[in-house]
Structure 1
Amino acid sequence: MDLQGILQKISELIWGTPLLVLLVGTGVYLTIRLKLLQIFKLPLALKYVFGKDEESEDESTKGDVTSFAALCTALSATIGTGNIVGVATAITAGGPGALFWMWIAAFFGMATKYAEGVLAIKYREVDENGQMAGGPMYYIQNGLGLKWLAKIFAILGVGVAFFGIGTFGQVKSISDAASITFNVPVIVTSVIVTIVVALVILGGIKRISKVSEMVVPFMAVLYVLGAMLVLIFNYTAIPAAVSLILNSAFNPEATLGGVAGITVQMAIQKGVGRGVFSNEAGLGSAPIAAAAAKTNSPVRQGLISMSGTFFDTIIICTMTGLAIILTGSLDTGLEGAALTTAAFETGLPFAEIGKYVVNIGLIFFAFTTILGWNYYGERCMEYLAGVKAIMPYRIIFIVLVAVGPFMPLNLIFIIADIVNGLMALPNLIGIIGLRKVIVQETEAFFKDLKEQKKIEA
């Protein structure tokens, strides 16, 4: 067996049943302990996201950017190619039922993402530049006292930023989409993307958050509107599509007639696995961005962070999955972005519009993922080597973005999967080890909120 074959086996082992059970199991435990917070407190979370942020306007509030900007920075990394390519891959490999298991992973993942946001604010620090620094490495070190484990997480975070989610795969997606849609040569795309990325990331978190605050809502709304049009023009097929999703989630052999040997286990594994890849709940990436938020309340930021999983998977991934299933595009034999493109072309009255919606969305999604993961890797590098390492890190990151479109991706994606999966382990240890802190902070916050409402009444 060659090196790639060995690494593929390692990747399959890491992303096997034990890790997926641990990821979802952590979410299930938190859901129970937090009393279904992702259901009963979602309206409050959305109010914090879209309402007036008076706390961030207060000069005494600690933080670098508004809570909304911090959410957009986190969403810039999570709303990415997984929402277009990942959903298509999950449904191709696990059948329509995989979408149901993506919903399950997202539902419990919302509790995990909430916990990450709480711990990010609770244990963050001010670095030598006067900026907020936080994330799993800080709550593992400051909360659990396990500095060695925190360093392992940070090393893996830099690895994912450099060689996985942050660079090669995203730039390759951009160059392919630009070539297919606008016939732009790869070298031209490489130069343009590199220059734009450099201009943004050299400005640090404030510039990244400003760009994310503008681009993320725009790209999400554009893509969701396109997907909604597909559903509207094919509304009569929605009931049958939902029925197919539910039936094939529990009995794919009977529902699909044994197509490609899809089993319940495959539907669960692909759905949960791709769901986690899409929203990153439990991987430990989002709390790095959450730590920069201007807020004095861990719970408030936790609720805002939780809404990110709702937007990413419950809304955007669902739109993609339904579009693929109800248009019958799953039977075309296509995969990845080509499958999603075919669904939009079939579902919309003018085929060309579908191609542009998917591929322009893919370009924006991939670009903002580059920005988000650059910031994650930068914070991890700073934790390991101090602020002096930030500029060398940025330069290396920019160089890797430049060469991304020309890299053979098979081996890179396997390595990225391995490092990404390993990232989750120290983070989950941190969350489980600090579970009592999460519950205590939550109970204290809502007790104070209840008393405050009584006083105002």
Structure 2
Amino acid sequence: MLQIIETINTAVNNFIWGVPAMVCIFGVGLYLSIRTGFLQIRKFPYAIRTTLGRIFRKRSASDGAITPFQAVCTALAATVGTGNIAGVAGAIAIGGPGAIFWMWVSALFGMCTKFAEVTLAVHFREINANGELVGGPMYYIKNGLGKKWNWLAYLFAAFGVLTVFGTGNATQVNTITTAINSALLNYNIISKSAVSTSNLIIGIVIAILIAMILLGGIKRIGQVTEKLVPFMALLYILLGLGVILLNIQNIPSVFVSIFKGAFQPSAVTGGIIGSMFLSIKKGVSRGIFSNEAGLGTGSIAHACADTKKPVKQGMFGIFEVFTDTIVICTLTALVILCSGVPITYGEAAGAELTILGFTSTYGNWVSIFTAVAMCCFAFSTALGWGLYGARCIEFLFSEKVIKPFMVVYALVAILGATANLGLMWNIAETFNGLMAIPNLIALFLLSGTVVRLTKEYFAGEGKEN
């Protein structure tokens, strides 16, 4: 049975992440970039100044909403996760170092894509029966494109519900157990025979924590993520910079391997990876798995922000992709490549390769810090995607199903902690691609609205604010 599922998933995955997907993702990103005059480059200083300025500004949100900073932290909580650690390692192992170059390229266009998603989500959002602000791709399709496109909104929401259990939960919890067990085994706190028991205990604890936070509603999610995200990002960045500084002599050759491997993979991987398309595919797919630009999911969190300026909140979309991919994913890649750890090209790799990059530089003692960082990354992602799944299932049915969904979602953490998720990773990547299709269609059709809102904003008060 598993063999049949794997075969079907491989066929669907190869189609979704084949040439059509690459054309759509790059195409829509490039199209939006051209129509907005490459806003992500032209207004990048403004985006950073605006977002960082609001990050350090303390304020409270109205009922049913969260602050703009809590919104970006909730979105970053979902994006800065295992994609930055295990995903980058997998992209390098399967696509070679050149995959990182294509990850950067996808991020460049992804900044504008995510800007458009956030702007539209805030502009077309609604207030639900509980008095909460709700929005995202399903709402900007419904309210922006009209009734004849409602099927596309429901399609996105359906794929969203299916995706959250794998992408947002099981694979994340699996990374947490890997990180904790790696640290415990390094210090001989547990034996290999006790790993399965440890996994079950970790799964139950995580399930309880997820349920407690998600059932507390959007405000509790925002309160947790605004504290967790800055801590985990800073810890990981400091650890990563330390590895780079201690191996600074390797940096020039690492960048040569990235740029050369992007166009001649075989020259870097010894002929094991010879396909430039494979390098592009892995770089783009794992980049999107990490920063979610094109999926539309991050805009669901931003729609909850207590703001009246869609374009100003959209600047956080640029900031998110930059932070997630250009900063954190690049750090992970440099940790792996400059530390000199052996990479078996052509074979799947995950978080263990990234951990090896840290321990080979610092020693085994650092495994406890990498475990903490990875647990924070993965747990925060599970929280963010829990919100996304709740919003999608609410759109499909009603707000009455939110709490039962959250209970089921929390229980999936136990499965993620105890099961072998090799196939789950591949299925998660497939569903990510399926979610992107209706969202990219909507972004293309609503690009005129994005351009109009952007022009109006920068022509008026937004020019100086």
**TM-score scaled to structure 2, two decimals?**
0.92
Indicate if the aligned counterparts of 1:62 and 1:295 stay in contact, CA closer than 8 A: no
2:351 to 337, 342, 357: 337
Say if 2:394 is the partner of 1:382.
yes
Corresponding residue for residue 34 of structure 2 = 32
CA distance in 1, matches of 2:142, 2:392: 13
The equivalent residue for 1:442 is 454
**Identity fraction in percent:** 43
Residue 230, structure 1, aligned to residue 279, structure 2: no
> Could you tell me which residue of structure 1 aligns to residue 135 of structure 2?
134
5+ residue gaps, structure 2: 185-189
Partners of 1:247 and 1:357 lie apart in 2 by: 33
State how 1:221-260 maps to structure 2 within 5 Å: 221-258=234-271, 260=272
- Determine the structure 1 residue equivalent to 2:16: 14
CA displacement at 1:421 relative to structure 2: 1.2
Change (3 A) 1:54 1:127: farther
Q: Deviations over 1:416-438 (max 9, x none)?
A: 23322111111111100100000
**CA deviation after TM superposition for structure 1 residue 127, in Å:** 0.4
Q: Which residue in 2 is equivalent to 1:178?
A: 180
Query: Where does the alignment leave 5 or more consecutive residues of structure 1 unmatched?
Result: none
- Give the C-alpha shift of residue 414 in structure 1: 3.5
Identify the residue that residue 151 of structure 1 maps to in structure 2. Answer: 154
Question: Given that residues 116 and 284 in structure 1 are in contact (C-alpha distance below 8 angstroms), is that contact kept between their aligned partners in structure 2?
Answer: yes
Is 1:75 matched with 2:76? Answer: yes
1:58-457 aligned at under 5 Å gives the runs 64-145=65-146, 146-162=149-165, 164-182=166-184, 183=190, 185-258=198-271, 260-331=272-343, 335-348=349-362, 351-449=363-461
Q: Relative to structure 1, is the Cα distance of residues 58 and 440 closer, same or farther in structure 2, using a 3 angstrom cutoff?
A: farther
Judging changes above 3 Å, is the alpha-carbon distance between structure 1 residues 147 and 324 closer, same or farther for their aligned structure 2 residues? same
Contact 1:299–1:445 (8 Å) recurs in 2: yes
Aligned length: 448
CA positional deviation for 1:283 = 0.6
Distance 2:438 2:128 in 1: 22
Question: How far is 1:361 from its partner?
Answer: 1.7
Task: Give the letter for the 2:353 counterpart.
Answer: L
Task: Provide the C-alpha distance between the structure 2 equivalents of 1:263 and 1:167, rounded to a whole number of angstroms.
Answer: 32
Contact 2:91 2:283 in 1 (8 A): yes
- The alpha carbon displacement at 1:129 in A equals 0.6
* Contact 1:95–1:262, Cα closer than 8 Å, also in 2: no
* 2:230 maps to amino acid: P
* In structure 1, C-alpha distance between the alignment counterparts of 2:233 and 2:63, rounded to whole Å: 29
Amino acid at match of 2:419: M
CA 261–46 in structure 1, closer or farther in 2 if over 3 Å, else same: closer
Q: CA RMSD in A?
A: 2.1
**Stretches of 4+ moved more than 4 A in 1?**
52-59, 450-453
**After alignment, is 114-123 or 190-199 more displaced?**
190-199
Cα distance in 2, alignment partners of residues 286 and 44 from structure 1:
21
TM-fit CA distance, 1:332: 6.1
CA distance in structure 2 between the aligned counterparts of 1:214 and 1:24, rounded to whole angstroms: 34
> Per-residue CA shift, 1:302-354, capped at 9, x if unaligned?
11122100000000000010111112224467821121111112233xx1244
Work out the CA distance in 2 between the residues paired with 1:132 and 1:277.
26
Given the two structures, how large is their TM-score scaled by the length of structure 1?
Answer: 0.93
Tell me the CA shift for residue 150 of structure 1: 0.6
Shift of 1:451: 6.4
| Local SS of the residue matching 1:2 | helix
Greater Cα offset, 123-132 or 2-11: 2-11
> How far apart are the structure 2 equivalents of 1:401 and 1:117?
29
Letter in 1 for 2:398: G
Deviation at 1:301, TM superposition (A): 0.8
Using the alignment, how far apart are the partners of 1:245 and 1:147 within structure 2? 43
For 1:426 and 1:159, locate their aligned partners in 2 and report how far apart those are by CA, in whole Å: 15
Please state how far the C-alpha of 1:405 moved relative to its aligned partner: 1.6
Task: State which drifts further: 324-333 or 275-284.
Answer: 324-333
